[in-house]
A = this chain, B = another copy of it.
Amino acid sequence: MSNTDEQGGGPAVAGSLAHRVPDLGALELLLAVARLGSLGGAARELGITQPAASSRIRSMERQLGVALVDRSPRGSRLTDAGALVTDWARRIVEAAEAFDVGAQALRDRRDSRLRVAASMTIAEYLLPGWLLALRAQRPDTAVSLHAGNSTVVAERLLSDEADLGFVEGLTVPTGLDSVVIAHDRLIVVTAPGHAWGRRRRPVAADELASTPLILREKGSGTRQVLDAALGGLARPLIELSSTTAVKAAAVSGAGPAVLSELAVGEELAMRRLVRVPVDGVALARDLRAVWPTGHRPTGPARDLLSLTRG
Contact = CB atoms under 8 A, between A and B. Distances in A.
Copies of the chain in the assembly? 2
Given A64-B106, A85-B103, A24 B21 contact: yes
Q: Which of A12, A84, A102 has the most CB of B within 10 A?
A: A84
Interface residues of A, number: 84
Contacts of A244: 87, 90
A193 interface: yes
A227 interface: no
A92 interface: yes
Contacts of A50: none
B88 A99 contact: yes
A271 B104 contact: no
A103 B2 contact: no
A198 interface: yes
B307 A100 contact: no
A222 to B, nearest CB: 15
Nearest to A21: B96
Given A98-B270, A124-B84, A136 B9 contact: yes
Interface stretch (A202-210, A213-221, A260-268, A289-297): A260-268
Contact of A272 (B13, B80, B132): B132
A147 to B, nearest CB: 6
Contact of A270 (B103, B129, B243): B129
A274 interface: yes
A263 to B, nearest CB: 9
24 contacts: A9-B136, A12-B135, A12-B139, A17-B97, A18-B24, A18-B28, A21-B96, A21-B99, A64-B106, A65-B107, A66-B106, A80-B147, A80-B148, A83-B120, A84-B123, A87-B244, A88-B95, A88-B124, A89-B99, A92-B95, A125-B269, A126-B270, A128-B270, A130-B271
Given A12-B136, A21-B24, A84-B120, 7 more contacts: A16-B46, A18-B28, A21-B103, A126-B270, A128-B270, A269-B269, A271-B310
Interface of A: 2, 5-6, 8-9, 12-13, 16-18, 20-21, 23-25, 28, 35, 46-47, 64-66, 80-81, 83-85, 87-100, 102-104, 106-107, 120, 123-126, 128-130, 132-133, 135-136, 139, 147-148, 182, 191-194, 197-198, 243-244, 262, 265-266, 268-272, 274, 306-310
